[in-house]
Amino acid sequence: MLISQILDDAETIRVVARNGGGKTRVINGARSVYSLAMEAARTGTGLEALIERKGYGETVDLDAAYKRGRLVSPINHPDPAHLHLTGTGLTHLGSAATRDSMHKKLSEGGEEELTDSMKMFRMGLEGGKPAKGQVGVQPEWFYKGNGTMAVAPGAPLMSPAFAQDGGEEPEIAGIYVIGDDGAPFRVGFTLSNEFSDHVTERVNYLFLAHSKLRNASFGPEILIGDLPADVRGSSRIWRDGKLLWEKPFLSGEANMSHTIANLEHHHFKYSAFRQPGDVHVHMFGTATLSFADGIRTEAGDTFEIEAPDFGLPLRNPLEIERPVKVAVKAL
């Protein structure tokens, strides 16, 4: 089942669902995906079972709504400060080669030394898929911001005026809510664009945190249930209506050095991320970047990320923010 959120003509959020290639229909009595997920958590009911119990209303043309700009992020929080955008890297087979090309160092003898990226990737290969009931090695982790940094499908990803680059990262994200007792619940999985500044990151790996404090977009639809083991999709950049760049991307545990369970454990082991009522959008990494192929994006370019298992593609144009001069005043 795929679920998403649209705005009706009265600017009210409507939650909609579809199965496979079936029709998209409004879920009766669902005010938002967030309220639906919290109801499922509180009642101990599976999300899909809860939706089926509520039943369906009118049919919606989801693709037409997307083209009209009526889709919103597939989950949000009434208070954006309680939605967390986070992620993990060096989790996909092949991703180390992409990342390592951005952080090369030469030894005194001229031979390439083992970088921190390669060490982290090797740790994942050796300990990222522990036996059932065991805890594996922790991955690289980063913070992107709260719900104010989340961009709806179709809306512009805003690159700061001071940024040196604005590039896509096609990823799968897990969507979670925290129950009243602090227990995390997974709503499902969705496409995401973990938009980042790769030039800043390349200057020095310690700038990684700076490079990640950017917008992110996810959706348009959430896949309820398990993540397919082998996810195959395409990442594209369009410029002036023409295809500038395209490359396939892989995800799912068959293409990863970590299990989803291990990545989830190492995020939610922190009590700060188990606060009742919070929403988490946690991105699981990628092995495909246009930046690694020498692409330099420009304002007006459109990113498109697509994978058949996740319904409609995620599209976002790129815009550049106006420069802002910040001065701190003493109270």
For the ranges 39-43, 183-187, 200-204, 243-247, the lowest mean pLDDT is seen at 200-204
11: left (phi over 0), alpha (psi -120 to 50) or beta: left
Q: If you average pLDDT over residues 239-265, what whole number do you get?
A: 97
Residue 225: predicted pLDDT: 94
Residue 92: predicted pLDDT: 92
Residue 107: predicted pLDDT: 41
Residue 205: predicted pLDDT: 87
Residue 122: predicted pLDDT: 87
Residue 104 has pLDDT above 60, yes or no: no
Q: If you average pLDDT over residues 7-23, what whole number do you get?
A: 91
Cα separations in angstroms, 169 against 57, 216, 234, 247, 319 = 36, 10, 11, 12, 16
Residue 262 has pLDDT above 90, yes or no: yes
Residue 66: predicted pLDDT: 97
User: pLDDT (tens digit, 9 = 90+) per residue, 44-99?
Assistant: 999 999 999 999 999 999 999 999 999 999 999 999 999 999 999 999 987 676 66
Of the pLDDT bands very low, low, confident and very high (cuts 50, 70, 90), residue 40 is very high
Q: Position of tokens 């499908």?
A: 153
Residue 106: predicted pLDDT: 37
User: pLDDT (tens digit, 9 = 90+) per residue, 171-186?
Assistant: 999 999 999 999 999 9
Alpha-carbon distance of 65 to 311, in angstroms, equals 14
